[in-house]
Amino acid sequence: MSAGGNGSRNRYDPAGWPRRRLLGGLALLPVAGLAGCLRPPKRPVEPVIRHLRLEGRAGQPGRGTLVLMLPGIASPPEEFVEAGFPAALAARAPGAEVRLLDSHYAYYEDRSILARLLAEQVLPARSQGFERIWLVGISLGGLGSLGLLADTEAGPAGEGRLAGVVALAPYLGTAGLAREITTAGGPVAWAASPASTQPEPGQARPPLERRIWRHLATRPGGAPVHLGFGAGDRFAHSHRLLAPLLPADHVATRPGGHDWPVWRALWDDWLARHGQVLLGPA
């Protein structure tokens, strides 16, 4: 394992951050505002997002595959290792390279996350010869993964295109936004309304959550999107709204809530059912 970005912060100090308990109990914050919500622990916006790199084994199939993993609001990337995500992936796609990103909330708060993912990871990976780039995002990382998919697919065709997204318990906006979509008659009807294109105050574009919903409700095709969530997840109302937009075999649930044991079970399920797609055509 090697570090990218700020190498001096390669080691994760378990005493430095609240971990699973905070992630499981903290209400996620709307990207467009903080009113009425708790702030996550303050973490720095660095010139380059820190990441941990796990290279695939030479001589194995899938050398053209890069998997970028984006954690939740309060998780450092090392928690992916602790939860066994890279090890499970290596058993199914041993040639794939994995990069675990420290893409924490501050990058969403300053609205730089999507531009950074594209400029620091996706485009350089294309120039390095990776043919397939997958995003695996948990919770807030699911928001970032789906946001990058929406922006790259809505823009001109080019090297920024993704091979696919696995979104586990993604944060998709507030309960108020979910009610708005439900009241409109569902995502497709909502996407046809002016509300879906309403700009964020002081910005030229709609908030990220609205861009994601509109894109997924209106796109004619594109990279596969896979959704997994716990049946008791506090954001399950949004996940159930999203599910009908996806093929049935791209949606999976497990008992439980918004926490690592559920996500690891969903990850194992996904690898067993779909992991071969990471290696590309046979």
> Hunting for tokens 């990976």 — which residue is that?
125
Tokens of 200: 């964020």
Q: Is residue 27 part of a domain?
A: no
Q: Is residue 6 part of a domain?
A: no
Question: In this predicted structure, what is the pLDDT of residue 33?
Answer: 38
Q: Is residue 156 part of a domain?
A: yes
pLDDT digits (tens, 9 = 90+) for 99-130: 999 999 999 999 999 999 999 999 999 998 89
> Please, what is the average pLDDT of the chain?
85
Q: Is residue 40 part of a domain?
A: no
Q: Is residue 233 part of a domain?
A: yes
Q: Is residue 43 part of a domain?
A: no
**C-alpha radius of gyration, the chain, whole number:** 18
Question: In this predicted structure, what is the pLDDT of residue 9?
Answer: 35
The residue-averaged pLDDT of 17-26 equals 37
What gap in Å lies between CA 228 and CA 256, rounded to an integer? 12
pLDDT digits (tens, 9 = 90+) for 28-72: 444 443 322 345 667 878 888 999 998 876 555 556 899 999 999
Q: Is residue 210 part of a domain?
A: yes
Strands annotated E in the chain: 2-4, 51-54, 65-70, 97-101, 132-138, 164-168, 225-230, 251-254
Domain span at 157: 52-279
CATH classification at residue 80: 3.40.50.1820
Specify the pTM. Answer: 0.86
Question: In this predicted structure, what is the pLDDT of residue 122?
Answer: 95
Question: In this predicted structure, what is the pLDDT of residue 4?
Answer: 53
The residue-averaged pLDDT of 260-279 equals 95
What gap in Å lies between CA 185 and CA 191, rounded to an integer? 10
pLDDT digits (tens, 9 = 90+) for 201-216: 888 889 999 999 999 9
Q: Is residue 209 part of a domain?
A: yes
* Number of domains into which the chain is organized: 1
